[in-house]
A and B are shown apart, each in its own frame.
Chain A
Amino acid sequence: MKDSTKIISQTTFLNIEKDRSTFFSEAQYLSDSIIASDQKTGKKINFKGLPIDLLGCFIQKKYSSKEVTYYSDEFGEHEYRYNEEPKFLWKISKESKEILGYKTYLATTQYAGRNYEAYFAPQIPVQDGPYKFLGLPGLILEIFDEKKDHHFLATGISNEKKISIDSRIATTKYITTTKPKFAEMRKNHIETPLRRMFELMDNTQVYEKKDANGNIIDIRKVFSETQRKMIEEYKKENKIEL
């Protein structure tokens, strides 16, 4: 959120495999688990109570080509994927500190409108890190931008794959696009996120429905209020890439 008085944290995972890695939020995994559990027991799903994801995407990196693939996870009707080969120009310094028992060194770079400070561990010879960050001679254990709008800190390392989002990626149909087209599409989406529903309403001439108690619901009013809240939320969002 674009609100300097609030710090919101969530757990993310970087699953490192032989030839690639996947970065994702635990919130999506938890949401899927809760939904599956409620569906199994026949309980009505409380969508408002599901964990909130701050990322809205999954990131995969291929180590051989240094290609980054962005998978959107925020739209519902269509999700998108695009490839990117970010060129990080790292400046490595001698400044060091210990994180999780590893000696890490400071490096700085710029990406998508922000200046970043990263601490990487040469003892872990994996040129990877959170989100799209890569290319240092050791795993990035901490990275934050100079305004501290975003801060990733490693809180644990496990040799076992605890949770995975691979099946979710494999079973979702993604529309392949480019990063600029995706940015343009998203910009249009957040201006009128329920445009499709308003179009459908006009096409079908269906403006009302009955609720479980037989009361008439004004659908246009429901969509207008929902869209108003969504637009307000989009205005407050604090995206990593400016």
Chain B
Amino acid sequence: MKNNFLIALAFLLLGFATFKANTIYSVRNDKEYFSSFKKNEEPKDKKFTILNKKSEVAGENFYVIYKENSLGQGFYFKIVLDKNEKPIATYYANEGDQQISKSTVENLKRVVFGPDKAISAIEETTTQCVTKCHRTNGCYDKPTSTGVLLCSAECGIACA
């Protein structure tokens, strides 16, 4: 919605700006660009098909990545997250005209939400939350003991 609004605004006020943006977009190799996850960006002119939907809540952010299956068929995989960064829906889009195989579609359905018959959501863990927080914030690299302690306390609060 936000993107649509911005594009509409750009058309009304700055026609040349959208022209420039389109020019940049056409140069970009989406397969390469999306070889790692990109946040809130998706390839141009690709129609995404739903794989799973766990909630009717509107997504807050999404990530898109390009992959190929064992037959070399390319596709884009999209994960939509809610405001708490929990996955709520997944989608795929074929890279070209060729449809990816049914087995790949079935596998994709299980990537985030797991097998249909299972309780598949992996519960958040305080242990991993604290470890990642310590590591990312460099808690153990702080120059003083107090610095280490306060940094770790911040992580404890963030992971409570």
Q: Write the residues of chain A forming the contact surface with B, with a CB cutoff of 8 angstroms.
A: 1, 5-11, 30-31, 33-35, 37, 39, 41, 45-54, 74-77, 100, 155-160, 162-163, 193-194, 197, 200-201, 203-204, 206, 209, 211, 217, 219, 222-223, 225-226, 229-230, 233-234
Contacts and interface: CB of A to CB of B under 8 A. Distances in A.
Given A204-B146, A222-B157, A6 B119 contact: yes
A48 B129 contact: yes
Interface of B: 35-37, 39, 63, 67-70, 72, 81, 84-86, 104, 107, 110-111, 114-115, 117-120, 122-136, 139-140, 145-146, 148-150, 152-153, 155-160
Given A77-B140, A223-B156, A230 B81 contact: no
Given A6-B118, A8-B120, A222-B156, A45 B36 contact: no
A145 B152 CA distance: 38
Given A11-B111, A75-B131, A76-B135, A201 B37 contact: no
A30 to B, nearest CB: 7
Contacts of A7: 114-115, 117-120
B158 A48 contact: yes
A162 B67 contact: yes
A211 B157 contact: yes
B118 A225 contact: no
Greatest chain A CB density within 10 A among B123, B132, B134 is at B132
Q: Which 10 A-B pairs have the closest CB atoms?
A: A49-B85, A7-B118, A229-B126, A9-B114, A76-B134, A222-B156, A157-B70, A52-B122, A226-B156, A76-B131
Contacts of B139: 76
Contacts of B122: 8, 10, 51-52, 54
Contacts of B63: 33-34
A201 B101 CA distance: 57
Contacts of A206: 146, 149-150
A182 B70 CA distance: 37
A77 to B, nearest CB: 5
Nearest to A100: B70
A164 to B, nearest CB: 10
A27 to B, nearest CB: 8
A205 B39 CA distance: 43
Given A8-B118, A204-B145, A204-B146, 7 more contacts: A30-B37, A39-B136, A47-B132, A47-B158, A206-B150, A211-B157, A233-B127
B149 A197 contact: yes
B158 A156 contact: no
B39 A41 contact: yes
B158 to A, nearest CB: 6
B101 to A, nearest CB: 10
B149 A200 contact: yes
B70 A156 contact: yes
Contact of A160 (B68, B127, B128): B68
Given A31-B132, A229-B126, A9 B110 contact: yes
B131 A74 contact: yes
A162 B135 CA distance: 25
A233 B125 CA distance: 7
Given A49-B84, A217-B153, A222-B157, A158 B70 contact: yes
